Structures are given as structure tokens and as C-alpha cells.
Structure 1
Amino acid sequence: MKRSGPLYTLLAGLLLALFMLSLNATTGTGSSSYGGEAPGAASASPTKGTPKPTGSPSKTASETPPASPSASPSKKPPPNADYAGRTDDDTSAVSISLRDGKAIAYYCDGRDTESWLKGNVEDDGSMRLTGKHGAKLTAKLTGKRVRGTVDADDGRHAFTAAKAVKPSGLYRATTEVRGAKLDGGWIVLPDGSQVGILKRDGEPAKAPRLDPGTGTARVDGDVVTARPVTP
């Protein structure tokens, strides 16, 4: 009976050792379930040291819209104005009316030769006008005057026409009086003098004096009204 004591003690120690081994095994498994990260978590996380992207990606050079070309200054035609003057040989007169890049001119010797011409005016003030029977006028506007030449039935004439202020300028009347067709042209020069031709049924003659204030002239006792000419 006395030998059973140590046996009980040995059994109790074995049971305690088995209990401790079982407890350690249980604690190790639980740490993987509740403590730390689950298997595979490290591979899912971002690589250490790799910066995280912030904001929207910057545009590449190809995505940048091209700069719009600078607008070139637009050219304008010479200002609207009227010009009148005499030929260098003082035998005839020339008047030119400019409107919005267009021109109409009248050459007249006041007796029997005249020509109406028209055409465009370039941005630099140069012009080449044409009329009937091969008439032409080549000139250029410089400052407040037009300098050029005119070719008409009576030859070529150089001229200078200064800027005209009303009532100076170019006038024309087209009407019918007592069954006769009338076509008259007048150049009123800056000094007040006039040069003009009135055709009656196509026959040229010196035009009667025009009243620039009213734009009227008397033809065989009848009043004819002339108007300023513009292109």
C-alpha cells in the first residue's frame, strides 16, 4: 500500500505533461487564426518603397493641343474719297471716285473726247481701270493725290488728281429732253473750274455750266439734274 503513492505521483505528472503539450498545440494554431496576417496577405499588399500614384496623369506632348496661329492683320482698301485734277499738258481733266476697293474715272477734254473707266483698287492704292475702245487708266494713290496716266482716243496723258472736297468731284446726267437722249459728264475741279461734255443722241459738245450746289444745268431751256458718280 505504501508503494502506490509514488505511482499516483508519476501518473499525475504524465497527465500534467500531456495537458501542457495539448495546450501548447492549441495556442500555436490559434495564433495563426487570430493574431497577425492571414496567409497570402503579404503578397496582396503594395511593394514596399513603391510610391502610390497621386492625382491625374500628366498630358503627353502629343496630347497637348497645338497653339492657335496668330491672326495676321487684315488689309483694308484705300478709304472712300473723290479726286480731281488736270493732265500735265493742261488740255484735259481727270476725276476718280473710290468706294470700297472699286473705282470709276472720267477723262474729258471738254470738247469732243471723253472716256468712262472702271476697275478695282489694290490695297497699296494702285489701280488699272479700263473703258470702251481700249481706253485705260493706270495710277496709284499716294497720300491725298492720285498720280498716273490715261490712254484715250487722243493719246496718252499723264495727270495728277488731288483729293476733292464737295462740291468738287465727278457728276453725270442721263436723261431725255424733247425726244433727244442726253448723256453729260462734268468734272468740277478744286479751284471751281469745270470740264465736261454733253452728248445729244451720241453727238458730243461742250457741256453747259453745272450748278454744283443744286446739281442742275440748263439744256435748251430745260433743267437737267446731274448726280455725283460713285462706283
Structure 2
Amino acid sequence: MKRSGPLYTLLGGLLLALFMLSLNAATGTGNSSYGKDSPGAASSAPPSAKPTRNTPAPTKSPSESPSKKPAGKQAGKSEYAGRTADDAAAVSLSIRDGKAIAYYCNGRDAESWLKGDIKDDGSMRLTGEHGAKLDGTLADNAVRGKVEIGEQPRDFTAARAKKPSGLYRATTEVRGAKIDGGWIVLPDGRQVGILKQDGEPRTAPHLDPETGAVTFDGGELTARPVVP
């Protein structure tokens, strides 16, 4: 019986060691599983960054290209001159910064000065005395539309003109008489105008477009380009 005591002691130690090894193995596996799979576990490794794509800058389609400046708002001064469709009269316009002055003249006894604004789309309605009106559109370096003087509408086209073509006017007083003259110098050099003396119209004398000089009845006056 005395010899079996150490044997039992040794056997108990071995069993205890085996139990501890089994416990450690089970605990190590559980901790590893928790750290790897548990959503609450802290990760020492930084999260992997999402791969970024080098997205090319968007290109503008033709419809997104910068729009041209509206015809009615073009800066600077421009001149237009032409005739009515029936060739009965001439029409000239002077335009600057969205405003316009027009002159209708048949060169004998009918004339009218009209003025107004030009809209962004190039359309315009100009008005003058005695119900005169001009409806037109500025596009493609020309003004096209209809002018109505004395309740008689006429279609017209006035192309862009270069100096000395354009619209001229002179107002003064000579020997107590009020003088008011208007001239349209067409692109081909022809002139159409009326000179009124105390309200009486007559065909305007020749205008020198380079100097603006006009001679009539022994007198002289100076016509100048019309500016809105």
C-alpha cells in the first residue's frame, strides 16, 4: 500500500497537466476565433483603402459650348442701309448697345425717324411720329422686317454698311429758317434724303460723306453720322 501512494500522486499530476493543456488549447482557439471573426474586435491592421479610379474630366458637348453674344446686345456702333422690297424708299438704321435709330425716306416727300430698343434675340419694334413703326430682326449682318409709314407697310432689307455708307442728319437754322435734313448713303454710293426748310420737304442736296458738308441755296451746313 505504501508503494501505491507515489504512483497515485504521479498519475494525478499527469491528469492535471493534461487538463491544463486541453484548457489552454481550447482557450487559445476561442480567443483567436473572437479576434478574427467577431465584429466587435479591434483590428490592428488599417482598413484597406478602396482603389480610386482616375475619372476623366467631363467634356462639354457641342450644345454646352459657350453661347454667342446675343445680336441685340453687341457692343459698339454698327450701321445698316438698304431699300424696301418694292424699291420705293430707302431704310437705314444706326445701332449701338441695344438701341436703334432708323430713318425711312423716299427722297421726295415722305420720311420718318424711328427709335427703340433691340431685344436679346435681335428683334425690334421702333416707333416714330404719326403712328410710324418698324418691326425687324437683326441677324446675319442685316436687318430684315417691315416698315409702316402712313398705314402703308413695306418689307425691307438693310445690310450692314461700312463708312461712308450709313445714316446722317443735320439740324440748324439759316436766316431764321429751321433746317432739318436726313441722308441715307447706300453701300453702292447712292444717296436718298430729304431736307426740310420750315417743315417743307424737298429732295436733299448732295452730301459729302467724308466731311459731312452740304451746300444749298447758297448756304452751307454740316451733316453728322447719327448715333443712338
Q: 2:152: which partner in 1?
A: 155
Structure 2 gap ranges (5+):
1-40, 43-65
- Structure 1 CA distance, aligned partners of 2:162 and 2:199? 31
Q: How does 1:158-197 map to 2 (within 5 A)?
A: 158-197=155-194
- Structure 2 CA distance, aligned partners of 1:126 and 1:171? 23
TM-aligned CA deviation for residue 124 of structure 1: 1.2
Contact kept in structure 2, 1:139 and 1:149, CA below 8 Å: yes
- Structure 2 CA distance, aligned partners of 1:184 and 1:162? 23
Match of 1:124 among 115, 121, 124: 121
Residues 23-59 of structure 1: per-residue CA shift (max 9 Å, x gap): xxxxxxxxxxxxxxxxxxxxxxxxxx99xxxxxxxxx
Match of 2:109 among 107, 112, 134: 112
Q: Percent identity?
A: 65
Alignment of 1:145 onto 2:142: yes
Q: How does 1:1-231 map to 2 (within 5 A)?
A: 76=70, 77-79=73-75, 80-153=77-150, 155-231=152-228
- Structure 1 CA distance, aligned partners of 2:186 and 2:151? 21
- Structure 1 CA distance, aligned partners of 2:210 and 2:151? 32
Cα 1:101–1:178 shift into 2, 3 Å: same
TM-aligned CA deviation for residue 78 of structure 1: 3.1
TM-aligned CA deviation for residue 177 of structure 1: 1.0
Contact kept in structure 2, 1:97 and 1:104, CA below 8 Å: yes
Number of aligned residues: 167
Residues 132-177 of structure 1: per-residue CA shift (max 9 Å, x gap): 0000000001111110000002611100000010000000000011
Counterpart amino acid of residue 125 in structure 2? R
> What value does the CA root-mean-square deviation take over the aligned residues?
2.3
Q: 1:23: which partner in 2?
A: none
Contact kept in structure 2, 1:78 and 1:123, CA below 8 Å: no
Counterpart amino acid of residue 101 in structure 1? G
TM-aligned CA deviation for residue 219 of structure 1: 1.4
Cα 1:83–1:74 shift into 2, 3 Å: closer
Counterpart amino acid of residue 98 in structure 1? I
Structure 1 gap ranges (5+):
1-48, 51-71
Could you tell me the TM-score, scaled by structure 2's length? 0.68
Computing the radius of gyration over CA atoms, which structure comes out larger, 1 or 2? 1
User: Which segments of structure 1 move beyond 2 Å, counting only runs of 4 or more?
Assistant: 72-76
Residues 104-128 of structure 1: per-residue CA shift (max 9 Å, x gap): 0000000110000000011111110
Contact kept in structure 2, 1:182 and 1:200, CA below 8 Å: yes
